[in-house]
Structure 1
Amino acid sequence: MDNLDKLCEVMYDQQNSVMIDLRLGKGLNYKKVEEMKGILMLLIDEWIDKEFVPKKMCDLFIDFYPGIEACSYSYDAETQKKILEVANEILDLMRNCVCC
């Protein structure tokens, strides 16, 4: 399995993925968040000299922040703040995957 497929699983596909846990009111799965960050770091290295990234990655990028932000409204103010801080950290890594 390549890194992009692993990222998809950690974000959405598994029963205890980051986004599914948030949607179900389970909060942030910090183990999965750290796994997600690690995979993004690998993708940054993998794509540093590439002109293009896969469409699949673009789909993840487009949906990630609005999805996590929408889920955050289901939580109290302090938890929502933590969720959005993590989302911003991940979004920065996503940007680094495609920066020139």
Structure 2
Amino acid sequence: MADNIEINKLIAVLEQSELNLLVDLRTGDGFNEKAYEKVVEMLTLFEKEWKEVSSIPKEVATIMVELYGELYNFSLNYSGEESERILKAAKNIKRLIEECLEGIEEAQLEKNQLFTKLFAYINEDGHFFEKLRSGKGFDDQQFEKIYEALESIMDEVHSWETLPKAFITILINFYEMDLFVYTYQEEFHQEEEADKIYDAYERVFELIAG
């Protein structure tokens, strides 16, 4: 296992590579293959490094939470082969992130009283995020309970240097609510539900960002 100094260097490489990748896409310069490959390299290293641990540094967690959604949205902004390259990269990064977060069951985190209500409310009535994915719409009452539980958690979590893997997975689900907006508009043709989801995403994003 690498020491803290080496880990911090690797985290810095990941942060810079992610920045290079996203800035080039944001400015219209297209897909930066070199930056993408470095992101993949770092995530692969971290998957091996943190396979047996339950929490990972917040800096890396933040990248994991945001990166797939960012890339997916950029794939919609580009067209043709460039769009396909970005989407393919997004899916591969999502897979790598999921592998990094494997091994720690949600049930273990549920034993922590800080997270008990959050997981209970998410899992109510067929699971909040699964209902969104399947096109069942946005459950206003369930979301408000989830948001209240998340709000109480974030007051404490903002001061932590590492985040539990299972909680990072939940944060990814929150962050990717943005992607459901497009799905509900274009596939399900439910504009009102899309608006509700986007408003909820904005509230959660502001809360997570602190």
> 2:60 and 2:39 mapped to 1: Cα distance?
13
Counterpart of 2:34, as a letter, is K
Q: Counterpart of 1:33?
A: 36
Q: Which moved more, 1:36-45 or 1:62-71?
A: 62-71
Q: Could you list the runs of 4 or more consecutive aligned residues of structure 1 that deviate by over 3 angstroms after TM superposition?
A: none
Distance 1:4 1:95 in 2: 18
Structure whose alpha-carbon radius of gyration is higher:
2
2:8 maps to 1:9: no
Unpaired segments of 5 or more residues in structure 2?
Answer: 1-7, 104-210
Residue 26 of structure 2 aligns with an amino acid whose one-letter code is R
Gaps of 5+ in 1: none
Q: What is the aligned partner in structure 1 of residue 163 from structure 2?
A: none
**How far did 1:42 drift?**
0.9
| Cα distance in structure 2, aligned partners of 1:36 and 1:65 | 12
In the alignment, does 2:105 pair up with 1:98?
A: no
2:101 and 2:75 mapped to 1: Cα distance?
26
* 2:27 is aligned with 1:24: yes
TM-score (norm 2): 0.43
- For these two proteins, the number of residue pairs brought into alignment is 96
- Which structure has the higher relative contact order (CA within 8 Å, separation 6+)? 1
Cα offset, 1:84, TM superposition = 0.6
1:87 paired to 2:90:
yes
Could you give the per-residue CA deviations for residues 41-73 of structure 1, whole angstroms, max 9, x where no partner exists?
111111011111122222111111221122222
TM norm structure 1: 0.86
Question: Which of 69, 83, 103 is 1:66 aligned to?
Answer: 69
Moved more, 74-83 or 86-95: 74-83
Asked whether 1:42 is paired with 2:45, we answer yes
- Identity among equivalent pairs (%): 26
